[in-house]
Amino acid sequence: MKKKNTYIFLILIIFLTSCNDWLDINNDPNNPDAISPELALPAAELSLVSQVNSFYNIAGGIMSQYWAQSNSSIQYIEFDSYNISASTLDLSFQEMYSGALNDFEYIKKEALKNEDQRYYIIATALQCYGFQLLADLYDKIPFNQALQGQQYLQPAYNNGNEVYDSLIVRLDNVHKLTTNIINDPASLSKYETALESDYIFKGDLYKWERFINTLRLKIYIRQCLVNNTKSNSGIISMINASALFLDEDASIKIFNSEPNRLNPLYAIDQFALNIKNNLLASHTFISWLKLHNDPRITKLYIAGKSGQIGVPQGTYNTSTTVQNPENFSRARILATDHAFLISKAEANFLLAEAALRYGFSDPKIYYENGVKAAFERFGFNANNYLTGVYAYPDSGNFEDKLKAIITQKWASNAGINGIESYIEHVRTGYPERTELLTTDTQYKPGTFVKPKTSVLSDIAGKHQYPKRFVYPKSERTRNSNTPIEVSNTTPVWWNINK
């Protein structure tokens, strides 16, 4: 494990230092005495997206059963066996704090000094995105005392609900700031020139307003099962204020085939490892696509010698003579792929669930828009599917409709945001789980199975699913305030779907 982590660390360093080559600067944004927000922002955005798109995407993608670890290698067996240890994602946690979140904090401070509200808005919005992700994965995280340099070398941890409350306040404030600028022609004129250092929206405040609203919506929806009054009030207030939400992907689209400009997932899995069949198709998801004759299968997987077929989850220890990896479909990952934070499809599925729960509109409208957006990402038209196998269950009950929404969100995030699908499965229980093997004739495609190599014991005849990540080894070593470890089957604060 130590050798493997060292190797992954080198990959991470290569990728992140390549950001400087790309920007044609030699400054380290983590030691930002001599750099401007203009130079720090691209590195900060790439740092955040590199983690969401690569290591966390792989972890979530395997646990969301899009992918399974090939038996020809051992890179991701922790995820395929639910055995995520304190060292598995240690470096990703470190990079989130010392890289992305720290850089955004620096940008915020410099923007305030320079009275450049646009940089402040972007950095605040993306920092809130990063903090929410960490709170969803770990529950308690360093927050109030985090990113304060020498003042707090061992920052205290805040409870997940405290983090959420603070994020809402920050996003509300920055949303008000954004709308004030947009509604004031004199203020807006200062920011009409495209911001090339912003790889996501080029500094377009109208688009950042939509991102902020969508992130607020996501935070409210995530906690709706334990704080329904707050979620209802927050969402309805946004709707009554005619809030606008993402109508395009929040992603970085600048990657190409040059070694230092590769899509982060491609860089660590395909380029650095030089193993093309490391991530095989999971039978769970690919069987669901085949059942519905879904054309996205050709964009998500490269067929093996035996066609478009997947392997059962957690079978990486099967002999290659029994399960030849070349016979199975493998993940289609390209150097030029976009790297996503929130897709247009996800934004619509969030609105669909909000409309379903709080009745401000017909959830079917947003559901169908989400499916259409998910298909359009690959150049396909979803109309025939929306009147067929993916039709919204108008006559169904609440759970039928919620299941349809979350299942289609699961499908839309395949390959691009596996960690979001993992969190949503923890929250909702969809797609559903089964105790059957994928080889059982009664197995229903798309139902999550127990990985053959799962380290989690069954309870009352049902297999367990990890509900959180364990704190990184480096954090426990350096920060005496790190909470006492609990089992990865212990729910985080917003999770009552036990």
Q: What average pLDDT does the segment 210-222 reach? A: 98
Comparison of pLDDT for 319 and 23, the residue scoring more: 319
Joined together, the tokens standing for residue 235 give: 């969402």
Q: What per-residue confidence (pLDDT) applies to 2?
A: 40
Q: Give the pLDDT confidence score for residue 18 in this predicted structure.
A: 44
Local confidence band at 256 (pLDDT 50, 70, 90 cut-offs): very high
pLDDT band at 438 (very low <50, low <70, confident <90, very high): confident
Mean predicted lDDT score pLDDT of the chain: 92
The answer, yes or no, to whether residue 12 has pLDDT greater than 50, is no
Q: Give me the pLDDT at residue 455, please.
A: 95
* Half-sphere CA count of 174, side-chain side, radius 13 A: 30
**Tens of pLDDT along 323-370?**
999 999 999 999 999 999 999 999 999 999 999 999 999 999 999 999
Beta bridge partners of 67: 281
Question: At 31, is the pLDDT very low, low, confident or very high (cuts 50, 70, 90)?
Answer: low
- The dihedral region occupied by 142, where left means phi > 0, alpha psi between -120 and 50, and beta the remainder, is beta
Q: How confident is the model at residue 275 (pLDDT cuts 50, 70, 90)?
A: confident
Residue 32 has pLDDT above 70, yes or no: no
**Tokens coding 316:** 């990486």
Residue 4 is predicted with a pLDDT of 44
pLDDT of the residue at 286: 98
What is the structure's pLDDT at 498? 55
| pLDDT reading at 11 higher than 80 | no
Q: What is the pLDDT of residues 42-82, one digit of tens each?
A: 999 999 999 999 999 999 999 999 999 999 999 999 999 99
Does 441 score more than 80 pLDDT? yes
| CA proximity to 422, closest of 47, 79, 78 | 79
Are 449 and 312 contacting, i.e. CB atoms less than 8 angstroms apart?
A: yes
Q: Residues 189-209: what's their mean pLDDT?
A: 97
- Asked whether the beta carbons of 236 and 358 are under 8 A apart, the reply is yes
Domains and CATH numbers, the chain: 1-279+415-430+458-498 (1.25.40.390), 344-412 (1.20.120.840)
How large a percentage of the chain has pLDDT more than 90? 87
> How deeply is 421 buried, as exposed, middle or buried, from its count of CB atoms within 10 A (0-12, 13-18, 19+)?
buried
Question: How many Å apart are CA 212 and CA 489, to the nearest integer?
Answer: 31
